[in-house]
Amino acid sequence: MSQLVADSIAKTYPSRGRDLVILRGASLSLSGGESAAIMGPSGSGKSTLLNILGALEPPTSGTVTLDGTNPFTLTDGEQATFRNRRVGFVFQDHHLLPQCSALENVLLPTLAGVGDGGGSAAERAMRLLTRVGLSERVDHRPAELSGGERQRVAIARALINQPAVLLADEPTGNLDRTVAEVVADLMLGIHREEGTILVIVTHSEKLAARCEHRWTLVDGALVR
């Protein structure tokens, strides 16, 4: 069972001659199959924390480990492989490539040469697209899909390499209430089926209430 641990994460940015403190001592621990919501006002550091958990940017101090590995001790190439294989990302804006079909977008993370590759990747992509209700839309490009459908493609893409951790930054923020509930159902359902660790940054009280754990960022620290 996977284990994600963030210990005393701090993050500061230089700002006009002095440091701008975003995070100060944020800590959490989650195991495979667990879900957590992180809430807080805009600008409180939620997305920054998610980026650190996903090894997209380093903390100023503190440590992040996934199954005992601290990605920030790895080389750049090793970090890229770590993110590709161990972490899946779902953003508020789906970030799909407009020139690629739904199936091609889902397969993109496998092209780095560290996924399953070949037929097995295509088969898993089809299974995931079927699971999110898009088996009839695999050849459609993003412009031919609704907002909810594009986000479902993004969820399938995030899961293609069977990551240990799924990080979602306001995944339903751009969707109307009904579509948001469908996307949330799919994301939470697949996370349980896959046994991933799920961390969601959200302003939605309804979505947060569906997670097993809930933290709020207050003055740069996570509080329950």
Residue 88 has pLDDT above 50, yes or no: yes
Average pLDDT score over residue span 87-104: 95
What is the predicted pLDDT for the residue at 119? Answer: 64
What is the predicted pLDDT for the residue at 114? Answer: 44
Cβ count near 120 (within 10 Å): 11
What is the predicted pLDDT for the residue at 62? Answer: 98
Cβ count near 164 (within 10 Å): 19
Taking the C-alpha atoms of residue 64 and residue 199, their distance in angstroms, rounded to an integer, is 14
Taking the C-alpha atoms of residue 101 and residue 32, their distance in angstroms, rounded to an integer, is 31
Kindly list the structural domains of the chain, giving each domain's residue range(s) and its CATH number in brackets, ordered by start.
Answer: 3-223 (3.40.50.300)
Average pLDDT score over residue span 75-90: 96
Residue 173 has pLDDT above 70, yes or no: yes
Cβ count near 153 (within 10 Å): 27
Q: Of 89, 56, 86, nearest to 68 (Cα)?
A: 86
Give residue-wise pLDDT tens across range 111-125.
Answer: 875 444 456 999 999
